Structure 1
Amino acid sequence: MELPIAKDFRKFKGPEFYEAEFSEYFLLPFKFHRINDEKEVLVNEVGDFLIVPIGTARRIASRDIQKDELLYEDLFANSFISNKPIPDLIDVLATRYRTKKSFLDDFTALHIFVVSLRCNHSCHYCQVSRVSENRQEFDISIEDLTSGIEHMFRSPSPSITMEFQGGEPLLAFDRVKFGVEYALKLNETFKKDITFVVCTNATVFTDEILEFCKEHQIIISTSLDGPEFLHNANRPKSGAKSYQMVIDGINRARNQLGEDQVSALMTTTSLSLEYPIEIIDNYIENGFSNIFLRPISPYGFALKNSKKNRYHTEKYLEFYKKGLKYIIELNKQGVFFVEDYTTIILKKILTPFPVSYVDLQSPAGMINNVVVFNYDGYVYATDESRMLAEQGDFTFRLGHVKDNYRSIFYGEKARFLSQYWSNESLAGCADCGLQSYCGADPVFHYAAQGDFEGYRPTSDFCIKNMEIIRHIFDLLDSDGKALMPIFNSWINNRPRYQ
């Protein structure tokens, strides 16, 4: 094979090409991204944005913006350009940047305890190695649970969430009960703000369980995949129709605990892709005011049934956009209903504050915001990474609950992972115009591509998030006047008419 001759290569231009004549403004750091055939979005270091005609970024860089243009004032006011090399308000920008990253201040807040692998369902997209209901050897030991709780209280965060997962955690209710009571006992000394969450399929409630949840204000998070035919297909239970069982469980929990103490989460399977409207209507019919149109995750058992669980990201994006359009139309008609993933991104776009959603944090939420204590006593960087462990891959194992806190949270493994958890320093992310609103997620890229950093052009994480964020900006550009009141109501979780 002959190498191309030198003249075919793109040559770098000389320094004189980049030397601009004296201009009326200096450039501040910003990036840009095309959002449709006519517009691009400019985004600065603190996430401020301007939607402008295509070619504006080039004009700014070429010092072609004139002082008498309205654009000049917008660029100056929003810290895209400055009349000095270092703007007078640099300290304000620094404060705003620190605010965006303030989720790092208090370190780990979410502590997930996998109290059992036992489960009474056979969901084909399950991400863990569930076992049958009678296998009590797969329950966490009291000794390991105690050590994990003690580590939880070593976190510097003044607010912590203790989340119980499985399997089906309520099959090991004695562990849940012990965990809550021991945490409350320790908190008499530490005096942290504690939130308790149980992730359950809502089919094993008893009066004792619900009374305990009510007494300790425990939040119930369950799974609901949509209409009966869809839920039963996605989440089968031997000898029973799981849909009616979960609806009965949801209603029973609401009656005992209150409407705001019960939430639901859906997972998008190949079958789900055809029914976004029906899924949303089902949530409304069952008294929910929000939904997370969540794609399936590339972990664990979910990968074993490719026919039901694998689909192109483009198919999911069609599902998401159709669902979002329907939800927006409902809101325009006066029905308050929220799409959760859109709202997370809107908070990053429209507010100065950070979000607690691990996947869209940079540095990534792994360790910094979440840690998992598995049923066998081992500690993992995220919920997804313990799912990899169930398949025999212990790459993200941080240690054991018997290890000291520092070796788990600041040890060699944590330091290694820190090389890959900031999208500001990753190839393909560092210069992305949508970087401020996205995350890094090295666990996803390791699982999907076998690489901690990931290759962005073929990354489903990037394809999904870049298109969703671009789509949101496109909506703001085309229908912003009508959408902003709706989007603000989602951010504030309050209907417009209140």
Structure 2
Amino acid sequence: MIHRYKLGGMNIVLDICSGSVHLVDEVAYDMIGLFETESREAITAAMLEKYGDREDVTEADINECYEQIEELRDAGKLFTPDTFEPMAGALKAKSANVVKALCLHVAHTCNLNCSYCFASQGKYHGDRALMSFEVGKQALDFLLEHSGTRHNLEVDFFGGEPLMNFDVVKQLVAYARSREKECGKHFRFTLTTNGVLIDDDVIDFANREMSNVVLSLDGRKEVHDRYRVDYAGNGSWDRIVPKFQKLVKARGNKAYYMRGTFTHANPDFLKDIQQMLDLGFTELSMEPVVCAPGDPSALTDEDRVIVMEQYEKLAELMLERRRAGKPFTFYHYMIDLTGGPCIYKRISGCGSGTEYMAVTPWGDLYPCHQFVGDEKFRLGDVWTGVTNTEIQADFASCNVYAHPECRDCWARLYCSGGCAANAYHATGSVRGVYKEGCELFKKRMECAIMLEASKALDNNA
């Protein structure tokens, strides 16, 4: 299977199963599109009819191009068959009962009142609560006990707003560090924060202990303050931006990213990206809102047309700035064409419910943060482990080939079947497909591949 598209002034052909990316001229682009369905004679005739008036396209040139396409096919770089499906279940079975990451909900409460919040202002449709050190410690022990031979373990401090329970965050990090040597493990921590409670102590601690920091900013002040308000209705932009700037400056080269959400209010999100750049931030992400169709913040069909254009314009801006020596990173355009995720990751997905779980303030286990609060997805708890094996089995069997709609999709080995939570909320099944999200994802992949291809061209120029 192949995928052909034109972007950034290039004719791009992606061979799905080998991962090969080919930049070709117009003639080769058209011939590759006909190669699997038409005879050599029919292809030659079609090319002569279309390009026959050009002096640089002769019948000999067309024949040579056809033979080059055949060589690429025979070398496994074009029209490569999909041989991965038989591996899907076996590869996932190898990691059964091995947990590599936890999302610790240290605070089911928040100091902001964002109306589009999937977590119901941090409460997850339940009671407000803070995780105790004892529950968090047991969660870390659960991770250590179930991590098998994995050396690197991931822990995200999440909420609500985790800085509302900052003392427990510090205690849990200290406890984890105290166990690393004896257990032969290394913890990598991430903190996600809205920034309101950032101070010098938070900055020093985060830059010392956090492998990554995720900072919530929706971009332009008027966009950000539309939804990200406190309980008095006041916007938070003026309070948090100077704190974010101070943290990032002190952070040096350590990882961070600004995480924004675009909604019906700002499908023209490139202006928000530009605002973040103007503020000095270079590690950026903008996520489409996921909410009920009738929600005022939900993207409309008209919005999605704008968003598609914005993704292309964003890629053009990234290309322009890179060539000018002022690059920046967009999370969804991070792709490695020379290596990238192993085939296990490509066909098995994110590992929610098996390798990755969320932990509530009370120690309950859920497949991921987006399922927290939905009792039928409760897996167990950090003391007894996973007891709801039926639900876990659903997630364990949920690979890219478990989605019938994915079988003929060119992007399947990049999205790995997509987000189980988005699929469930859109269709009622973790094996469903969130079609609106799929279309946005495919556009992002086209842009990401174009950017990497252009980088290779620039490096070889």
**TM-score, length of structure 2 as denominator length:** 0.78
Give, in whole Å, the separation in 2 of the partners of 1:452 and 1:373: 20
Give, in whole Å, the separation in 2 of the partners of 1:61 and 1:439: 35
Residues 144, 402 of structure 1: 8 Å contact kept = no
* Alignment pair present for 1:242 and 2:236: yes
Of the three residues 320, 326, 338, the one matched with 1:351 is: 338
* Alignment pair present for 1:142 and 2:128: no
Give, in whole Å, the separation in 1 of the partners of 2:187 and 2:136: 17
1:191-270 matches, within 5 Å, as 191-217=184-210, 219-237=212-230, 238=232, 240-258=234-252, 260-270=254-264
Counterpart for residue 453 of structure 1: 431
Residues 195, 240 of structure 2: 8 Å contact kept = yes
Residues 163, 193 of structure 2: 8 Å contact kept = yes
User: What are the superposed Cα offsets for residues 237-289 of structure 1, whole Å, 9 maximum, x if unpaired?
Assistant: 2375411211121133235443535431111122221341x212222122222
Give, in whole Å, the separation in 1 of the partners of 2:180 and 2:415: 35
**What's the offset of the Cα at 1:378?**
1.2
Closer/same/farther in 2, CA of residues 367 and 361 from structure 1, 3 Å limit: farther
Give, in whole Å, the separation in 2 of the partners of 1:110 and 1:280: 30
User: What are the superposed Cα offsets for residues 201-232 of structure 1, whole Å, 9 maximum, x if unpaired?
Assistant: 11212344334334435643211111222222
Counterpart for residue 420 of structure 2: 442
**What's the offset of the Cα at 1:168?**
0.9
1:254-293 matches, within 5 Å, as 254-258=248-252, 260-276=254-270, 278-293=271-286
Give, in whole Å, the separation in 1 of the partners of 2:203 and 2:410: 48
Give, in whole Å, the separation in 2 of the partners of 1:315 and 1:104: 43
Give, in whole Å, the separation in 2 of the partners of 1:80 and 1:310: 37
Give, in whole Å, the separation in 2 of the partners of 1:383 and 1:197: 14
Report the residue type matching 2:68 in the other structure: L
Closer/same/farther in 2, CA of residues 39 and 205 from structure 1, 3 Å limit: closer
Give, in whole Å, the separation in 2 of the partners of 1:371 and 1:63: 55
Closer/same/farther in 2, CA of residues 296 and 124 from structure 1, 3 Å limit: same
Give, in whole Å, the separation in 1 of the partners of 2:263 and 2:324: 29
Counterpart for residue 20 of structure 1: none
Worse-matched range after superposition: 113-122 or 309-318? 309-318
Closer/same/farther in 2, CA of residues 117 and 61 from structure 1, 3 Å limit: farther
Structure 1 runs not aligned, ≥5 long: 1-30, 489-495
Give, in whole Å, the separation in 1 of the partners of 2:41 and 2:285: 43
Give, in whole Å, the separation in 2 of the partners of 1:72 and 1:131: 56
Give, in whole Å, the separation in 2 of the partners of 1:437 and 1:70: 27
User: What are the superposed Cα offsets for residues 3-61 of structure 1, whole Å, 9 maximum, x if unpaired?
Assistant: xxxxxxxxxxxxxxxxxxxxxxxxxxxx2345369978452534334574321222499
Give, in whole Å, the separation in 1 of the partners of 2:122 and 2:410: 45
User: What are the superposed Cα offsets for residues 271-328 of structure 1, whole Å, 9 maximum, x if unpaired?
Assistant: 221341x212222122222322321123xxxx49722234334443233223333332
Residues 32, 40 of structure 1: 8 Å contact kept = no
Residues 232, 241 of structure 1: 8 Å contact kept = yes
Counterpart for residue 294 of structure 1: 287
Worse-matched range after superposition: 433-442 or 176-185? 433-442
Counterpart for residue 418 of structure 1: 396
Of the three residues 392, 396, 405, the one matched with 2:377 is: 396
**TM-score, length of structure 1 as denominator length:** 0.72
**What's the offset of the Cα at 1:199?**
0.8
Closer/same/farther in 2, CA of residues 471 and 205 from structure 1, 3 Å limit: closer
Counterpart for residue 70 of structure 1: 68
**What's the offset of the Cα at 1:448?**
0.7
User: What are the superposed Cα offsets for residues 416-449 of structure 1, whole Å, 9 maximum, x if unpaired?
Assistant: 2233x21134212123233222222332111111
Of the three residues 361, 368, 378, the one matched with 1:382 is: 368
* Alignment pair present for 1:370 and 2:359: no
**What's the offset of the Cα at 1:102?**
10
Residues 165, 198 of structure 1: 8 Å contact kept = yes
Q: What is the aligned-residue RMSD (CA, Å)?
A: 4.0
Report the residue type matching 2:115 in the other structure: H
* Alignment pair present for 1:45 and 2:17: yes
Q: Secondary structure in 1 aligned to 2:156? A: strand
* Alignment pair present for 1:432 and 2:409: yes
* Alignment pair present for 1:329 and 2:320: yes
Closer/same/farther in 2, CA of residues 150 and 40 from structure 1, 3 Å limit: same
**What's the offset of the Cα at 1:164?**
0.5
**What's the offset of the Cα at 1:170?**
0.8
